[in-house]
């Protein structure tokens, strides 16, 4: 990064990375501005769920002050497409918060759009900082996404009670069925998960799925996953096989909770992949079986409520005490793209 060497009456941006005179490529925040951004994100991680839990005037004022500080910070940066769009969303959030009767449902929708735009903004400045700084920013973003509640919709009208039917005669006792040989293991994310794909595949992140819980921000481009280095207080989402057997199928479902735009000539598929750790491998998991790509793939403008699903046969041998982990991520086809999906994920496997 350097100051561009322009002369005469050329009015050039003061901070650029590469490129010729008056042709800035990336506008970089200063270290003090970056530290202020990190501080504001940490404050929002506390203030947003607090306001949704107790939407009183005091908590609203705290949230308004934080978003005003964020808007002031963005206004200090040189204009970019990503930064300008982010400022528009911040202003929309402030307008909703400053209305006499704040609509929590509308606020939640605006926040999800804000998180998606914030991811685009981070990627636009990723060359300004070390990879560890970018990971910190995305860890803060995934915390914001996971801690922002989705308000329930209005309760529908109660339908009329139907007439009670006559009691039927007791049927004959059926023959005892054969003893089953298999079991179904369910998975569900609980809160929406954030899935991020980067041009550098080693920075792409997915989520571990558990039984009504999930852990986003897991690097999925490194081949294996080591639970000991994830760095979260909740990091074990694997189940232990009580006996030897075979995983024979994997089914999955994903529902989008924040709209996202996919570039032309690109398709984003939600991918679900099983990982296994043997007794000797400890907490290091490697992918096994065939990845499940949910259908349809997402192209162009993907709206809230869009869904994808699928099922695929598997033949994965499992020894007693092997551990099985399920990971959901994004797989892109066509032109490489940088994007973030947020939504509910659920899955199930059959174990025989």
**Interval 219-241: pLDDT, tens:** 888 888 888 877 655 567 888 99
Which CATH class name applies to 183-351? mainly beta
pLDDT score recorded for residue 135 = 93
The per-residue pLDDT for 314 is 96
What is the widest separation between alpha-carbon atoms in the chain?
Answer: 99
Handedness of CA 295, 149, 212, 115 (dihedral sign): positive
pLDDT given at position 336: 65
Q: How far is CA 273 from CA 202, 211, 254, 261, 329, in A?
A: 17, 16, 14, 24, 8
Is residue 294 a contact partner of residue 151, using CB atoms and an 8 Å limit? no
Q: What is the pLDDT of residues 325-343, one digit of tens each?
A: 999 999 888 766 678 889 9
- pLDDT above 70: percentage of residues in the chain: 89
Work out whether the CA dihedral 99, 105, 107, 110 comes out positive or negative. negative
Is this structure's pTM higher than 0.75? no
The ranges assigned to domains in the chain are: 31-147, 183-351
Tens of pLDDT, residue by residue, the chain (352 residues): 333 433 344 433 434 444 445 545 577 899 999 999 999 999 999 999 999 999 999 999 999 999 999 999 999 988 999 999 999 999 999 999 999 999 999 999 999 999 999 999 999 989 988 999 999 999 999 999 999 887 666 677 888 888 888 998 998 998 987 766 678 899 999 899 988 887 777 788 888 998 888 888 888 888 888 888 776 555 678 889 999 999 999 999 999 998 787 777 788 899 999 999 998 888 899 999 999 999 998 887 778 989 999 999 999 999 999 999 999 999 888 766 678 889 999 999 999 9
Measured CA to CA, the distance from residue 209 to residue 193 in angstroms comes to 9
């Amino acid at each position: 990064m350097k100051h561009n060497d322009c002369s005469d009456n050329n009015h050039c941006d003061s901070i650029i990375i590469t490129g010729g005179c008056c042709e800035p490529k990336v506008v970089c925040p200063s270290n003090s501005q970056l530290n202020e951004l990190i501080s504001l994100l940490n404050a929002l991680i506390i203030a947003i769920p607090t306001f949704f839990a107790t939407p009183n005037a005091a908590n609203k004022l705290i949230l308004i002050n934080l978003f005003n500080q964020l808007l002031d910070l963005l206004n200090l940066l040189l204009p970019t497409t990503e930064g300008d769009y982010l400022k528009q969303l911040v202003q929309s959030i402030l307008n909703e918060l400053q209305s006499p009767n704040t609509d929590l449902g509308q606020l939640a929708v605006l926040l999800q759009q804000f998180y998606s735009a914030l991811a685009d903004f981070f990627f636009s400045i990723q060359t300004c900082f070390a990879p560890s700084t970018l990971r910190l920013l995305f860890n803060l973003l995934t915390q914001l996404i996971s801690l922002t509640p989705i308000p329930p919709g209005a309760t529908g009208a109660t339908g009329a009670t139907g007439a009670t039917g006559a009691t039927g005669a007791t049927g004959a006792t059926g023959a005892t069925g054969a003893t089953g040989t298999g079991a179904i293991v369910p998975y569900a994310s609980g809160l929406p998960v954030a899935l991020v794909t980067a041009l550098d595949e080693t920075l792409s992140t997915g989520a571990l799925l558990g039984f009504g819980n999930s852990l986003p921000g897991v690097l999925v481009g490194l081949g294996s996953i080591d639970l000991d280095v994830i760095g979260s207080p909740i990091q074990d989402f694997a189940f232990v096989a009580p006996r030897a057997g075979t995983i024979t199928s994997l089914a999955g479902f994903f529902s989008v909770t924040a709209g996202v735009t996919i570039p032309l000539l690109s398709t984003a598929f939600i991918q679900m992949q099983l990982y296994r750790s043997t007794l000797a491998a400890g907490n290091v998991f490697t992918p096994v079986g065939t990845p499940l790509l949910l259908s349809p793939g997402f192209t162009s403008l993907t709206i809230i409520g869009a869904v994808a699903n699928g099922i695929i046969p598997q033949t994965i041998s499992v020894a007693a005490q092997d551990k099985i982990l399920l990971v959901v991520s994004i797989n892109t086809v066509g032109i490489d793209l940088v994007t973030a999906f947020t939504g509910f994920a659920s899955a199930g496997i059959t174990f025989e």
